[in-house]
């Protein structure tokens, strides 16, 4: 019975790895792996005219990539410590949401453009807002 158990475990592990990129062409998965060498591809799926992939670095941090069908990285989104936000972004968040608590932050890189999405807790609930690196407000969700 033990050989069957081992085969069953190995089969389920193989299926788990295969499902991570089941919805993406090889060019997309190769582009994701090239963008973050050594990171494990956890998920990859089509999203409109592009693809979204989630990878996990060796330090267990997650990174989300938006890729074109040919594997070109269009955007990188990754969590960052609140303390590492640029000063103009922190000032803009405090000015726009004076009675809020910063909950989490992400850096979004699209080519050479960098913006930051912050999640703030307010008395009325939680909001997400995006700011350019210079503190310019972009949008609120």
23-59: pLDDT as tens digits: 789 999 999 999 999 999 999 999 888 999 999 999 9
The number of residues in the chain equals 141
Does the pLDDT value for residue 9 go beyond 90?
no
DSSP string covering 117-134: EEEEEETTEEEEEEEETT
Select the more confidently predicted residue: 21 or 12: 21
DSSP code, position 39: -
Helix (H) or strand (E) holding 15: helix 2-20
Q: Two tokens at 97?
A: 């949401």
Dihedral class, residue 113 (left if φ above 0, else alpha if ψ from -120 to 50, else beta): beta
pLDDT confidence of 5, banded at 50, 70, 90? very low
List the beta bridge partners of residue 76: 65, 109
The reported pTM is 0.78
Q: Alpha-carbon torsion 119, 120, 123, 124, what sign?
A: negative
Residue appearing with tokens 């850096």: 107
60-88: pLDDT as tens digits: 999 999 999 999 999 999 999 999 999 99
């Amino acid at each position: 019975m033990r050989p069957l158990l081992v085969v069953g475990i190995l089969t389920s592990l193989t299926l788990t790895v295969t499902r991570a990129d089941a919805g993406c062409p090889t060019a997309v998965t190769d582009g994701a792996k090239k963008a973050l060498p050594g990171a494990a591809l956890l998920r990859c799926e089509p999203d409109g005219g592009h693809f979204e992939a989630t990878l996990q670095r060796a330090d267990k941090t997650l990174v989300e990539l938006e890729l074109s069908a040919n594997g070109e990285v269009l955007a990188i989104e990754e969590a960052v410590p609140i303390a590492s936000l640029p000063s103009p972004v922190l000032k803009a968040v405090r000015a726009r949401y004076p009675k809020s608590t910063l909950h989490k932050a992400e850096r979004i890189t699209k080519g050479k453009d960098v913006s930051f999405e912050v999640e703030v807790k307010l008395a009325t609930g939680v909001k997400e807002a995006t700011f350019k690196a210079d503190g310019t407000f972009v949008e609120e969700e």
